[in-house]
Structure 1
Amino acid sequence: MAPLLTLDALLFNMIGGQLKRFAKARKDLLVAVNEIVRHMFDEIDYVLEGKNAERFAILYSQGSGGEGRTSIKVPKVYWTYTRKSILALEWIDGIKLTDAERISKANLNRKKMIDEGLYCSLRQLLEDGFFHADPHPGNLVATEDGSLAYFDFGMMGDIPRHYRVGLIQMLVHYVNRDPLGLANDFHSLGFVPEGTDLHAVATALSVAFGDGRRQSNDFQGVMNHLYDVMYDFNFSLPPDYALVIRALGSLEGTAKALDPDFKVIESAYPFVIGRLLADPSPDMRKILRELLIRDDGSIRWNRLERLIAAISQQSSEESSKKPGDENTASSSDWRSFDMHSVVSATEDLFHFILSRKGWRVYLRKREIQAS
């Protein structure tokens, strides 16, 4: 394989160079080509793949929060028999996620499997940063006990924290329908060239999203809105962020095999809110303030109400659990809120409301209502 891939790499670079020279192709074309080549060689190094599998297992298959339980399985690597060109893995019996008949016969809980797979993927992309870049149905199977088993760790990504925070911020700005906020996100992450008119980008995004009826909560729908804007303004995505897009697309496609109505952005939003509430870092607090407070200082009361309702509902569910239920894994466990984190997170909002600026906003609102 290595000599064949070397020839492919040479041809890729020759073709890319000619396209760049004569067809005025994008400046980052060769960067993308080289990244593809790098992953091609990574995928035939089975020692590296074995190390990736073990790292993935430690991060996502060892239980979370000290609970010691998980519904994610990763095959064990047998290092005695593994070499650079041989990968020896534990055998795991499973059912393909596209085999609806066998999943039904096994009485597996589809919603729970989707929740667990989504939770695992969002932890990869938004918390730890080490992620499986190709979670398509061929690389995931359902086991008889309803767990999800991952395979094929040749294509992995490592996304730095500032990109993870940027992904959260983009999701918040998208849900808030804030095109200028999105444009600023793209600029701060280096997606658009320096000197680009961000107001023009924001206008193009507004046109792409249209009115509220056109806004999509499924990932492919969002990307369909963005592709033209990204092309027109010569967006340049870092290689690992391109892998993030691939991973989210594959995740949604895999989940739709179990639930055709699944929408990754809509389903991911509760997890994002939980991250914002639980993380005391300044960048997360800033995003939370943007979620609840507009640029003019007014409060997004509808979002605050929905947030409080979600916390209240979760609190009611926790208090209604029967003795012994705390040891039972539930598909909604990952949506639970730590009330200490909630109190800490809302301090910023209450400080604003009680501040001179917040009081001025309140008085202005009363004047408008009176008139």
Structure 2
Amino acid sequence: MEILNLKSKIEDLNRLRQIITVLFEAGFGFIIDRLRLRYLVPLRLRLSQRFKRLKAPAKPEIKPPQVRLRESFEKLGPSFMKLGQILSLRPDLIGFEYAKELEKLQSRAATFSFEQVEKIIQKEFGRPIGELFKSFEKKAFAAASLAQVHRAVLKDGTQAAVKVQRPNIEETIKKDIHILFFLAFLLEKYIPESKPLRPTQVVKEFAAWTMRELDFKVEATNTERFRYNLKDEPDIKIPKVYWDLTSQKVLTMEFVDGVKLDEEERLAKMKLSRELLASNAVKVLLKQFLIDGFFHADPHPGNFFVLKNNIICLHDFGMVGYVSPEMRSEMVSYFMSFINQDMENSLKHLLDVAEVREGSDVEGFKQEVSSILSAWFYSPAKESIATSFFKAISASVKYNIVFPSNLVLLGKAMLATEAMAKRFYPKFDFNEQFAAFVGMVYRSAFDPRAAAKDFQDNMFDYLAFLKKLPEHTLKLLEKFEKGDIGVKINIEEFIEVKEEIDRQNDVRILAGLTAITLLTSALVMNIEEARIFGISLGRIGLLIGFVLIIWLFNLVRKNK
């Protein structure tokens, strides 16, 4: 076992030396020096660099650093290509210029041999390709950093797309993740200005994202979830998963023959309503962002197909984002305040979802965001809502304020959605559709039916709370009797205490009556026959319940 560990450590050291060498050759020696890793650079390269400096006193022309970084990631292989792709979604951390350059990594990947594909499929399913598929094309029609895709025909004649994971990619990525954690540690230790960027946290997120993507069953589950969430959208197509031919390293799905949104020549030959397609694409993505809370985190044109009759097909669900119900509520409130040009509440709702730490410059952040919002509120040449929102959250890093990574992904996805819609239909008004959609979501939150459903969904929680209330009250009284809780009250305050107890009793009775009324009404609403003068008893009960809530609210407010 010790020999195996030694071998692994030697391999890690050799890989670290390779990474440092590639970065050094790309002109990032100044960072290597600060990390105190120059000793890993081969002596010949160090001497060669010094000789070049002496020989050429004039400053040579070199490529921009973001280009050199992208080229370095390409040389370092799939792990770093995937890291670059994820970093391209985080311009709040690396800046827009670097993010834009790293986006070019999306479509650059070499294929691997068909013999390796055969071995992987046989190992996953215990049977050769010929027994699993009627036919299987040897040449991959798409390749990415983690996998490549082949066209195949199932035994029943169904056309399928088969995604096969690169050989040994999981082991390679795990080793690179260990090295990235080491480099992140050195960055935070020796380069203090990198701490607001939280290098270790970035590597943790990269590791979590990538290990999930390496399990194709997770992507298959994501696909099925999108199919369920969008089942009532007639203009949206999500490919079907064939689970009997899907494993951790192989994903078999329905083959959809469509035209990508960036294939202009083919699109021009189709009879399409570009305005309708742009509107449908934006609508379905806004639904993901603000209603479902489960969204496609990488909606670039290559992940969208156009089919006949103005239908859009979404695919590639390896990278997804999640927005909790609480965060969705804050975001809808933020966007409503933004649309209504309410500066104070916009800032409030934005900071409500942020992580403010010791040393955070909240006032500085507010000032910068205020100038961003003012440019939208009062300038005749307005930027898009998506751009203003993303600028606002991207400004947080320099003020030591952190937003959840899923929220940043949402902002980036919104930008990509708008860019895709405008590329397809240049006259598309994203702001108008966005404002209308947010207004619809905001109004639906106050729909009595939504309130009744929410109450019904949480009914057992409320009942559990009511059941436990007497027990907790008795325990509290016992502590009072034992003297575990000391209370000192002046004799003159007894009358006030009695009045307060009487008031609380009234509030408890009214609260209990309100809860019972709403609970009973929610149950009665499921009985269609329960009506008076043609009006549902459940609706009458809900109305009474809302009246009691208002009464209860006024009683509490009056006696504060």
Alignment TM-score, normalising by the size of structure 1: 0.68
Label 1:5 to 1:41 Cα distance change in 2 as closer, same or farther (>3 A). same
Question: Who is 1:246 aligned against?
Answer: 412
Label 1:184 to 1:196 Cα distance change in 2 as closer, same or farther (>3 A). farther
* C-alpha deviation, 1:4, in angstroms: 1.2
1:9 aligns with 2:177: yes
The amino acid of 1:230's aligned partner reads S
* C-alpha deviation, 1:103, in angstroms: 2.1
Distance (Å, rounded) in 1 between the aligned partners of 2:190 and 2:432: 43
Label 1:159 to 1:29 Cα distance change in 2 as closer, same or farther (>3 A). same
1:21 aligns with 2:189: yes
Distance (Å, rounded) in 1 between the aligned partners of 2:284 and 2:418: 13
Comparing both structures, which one devotes a greater share of its residues to strand?
2
Per-residue displacement from partner, 1:106-162 (whole Å, max 9, x unpaired)? 111111111211111111111111111111111111001211101111111221011
Question: Who is 2:202 aligned against?
Answer: 32
SS at match of 2:309: coil
1:216/1:222 contact within 8 Å kept: no
The amino acid of 1:9's aligned partner reads I
Structure 1 regions of 5+ residues with no counterpart?
A: 64-68, 286-343, 345-350, 352-371
Label 1:115 to 1:223 Cα distance change in 2 as closer, same or farther (>3 A). same
* C-alpha deviation, 1:16, in angstroms: 1.4
Structure ID, larger Rg: 2
Distance (Å, rounded) in 2 between the aligned partners of 1:4 and 1:56: 30
Question: Who is 1:147 aligned against?
Answer: 311
Question: Who is 1:216 aligned against?
Answer: 383
The amino acid of 1:189's aligned partner reads V
> What RMSD in Å do the two structures reach over aligned CA positions?
2.8
Label 1:84 to 1:184 Cα distance change in 2 as closer, same or farther (>3 A). same
* C-alpha deviation, 1:202, in angstroms: 2.8
1:201 aligns with 2:369: no
Q: Which consecutive aligned stretches of 4+ in structure 1 deviate over 6 angstroms post-superposition?
A: none
**Correspondent of 1:50 among 205, 214, 220:** 220
Question: Who is 1:278 aligned against?
Answer: 444
* C-alpha deviation, 1:225, in angstroms: 5.8
2:306/2:313 contact within 8 Å kept: yes
Distance (Å, rounded) in 2 between the aligned partners of 1:175 and 1:74: 32
Label 1:210 to 1:273 Cα distance change in 2 as closer, same or farther (>3 A). closer
Label 1:53 to 1:226 Cα distance change in 2 as closer, same or farther (>3 A). closer
Distance (Å, rounded) in 2 between the aligned partners of 1:237 and 1:185: 12
Per-residue displacement from partner, 1:41-91 (whole Å, max 9, x unpaired)? 11121111111101110111x11xxxxx51111111111111111111111
Distance (Å, rounded) in 2 between the aligned partners of 1:262 and 1:225: 23
- Give runs of aligned pairs for residues 30-179 of structure 1, distance below 5 A: 30-60=200-230, 62-63=231-232, 70-179=234-343
2:373/2:388 contact within 8 Å kept: no
Label 1:11 to 1:125 Cα distance change in 2 as closer, same or farther (>3 A). same
Percent identity over the alignment is 25
2:421/2:428 contact within 8 Å kept: yes
SS at match of 1:98: coil
Tell me: higher relative CO, structure 1 or 2? Use CA pairs within 8 A at least 6 residues apart. 1
Distance (Å, rounded) in 1 between the aligned partners of 2:354 and 2:219: 30
Question: Who is 1:329 aligned against?
Answer: none
Label 1:184 to 1:218 Cα distance change in 2 as closer, same or farther (>3 A). closer
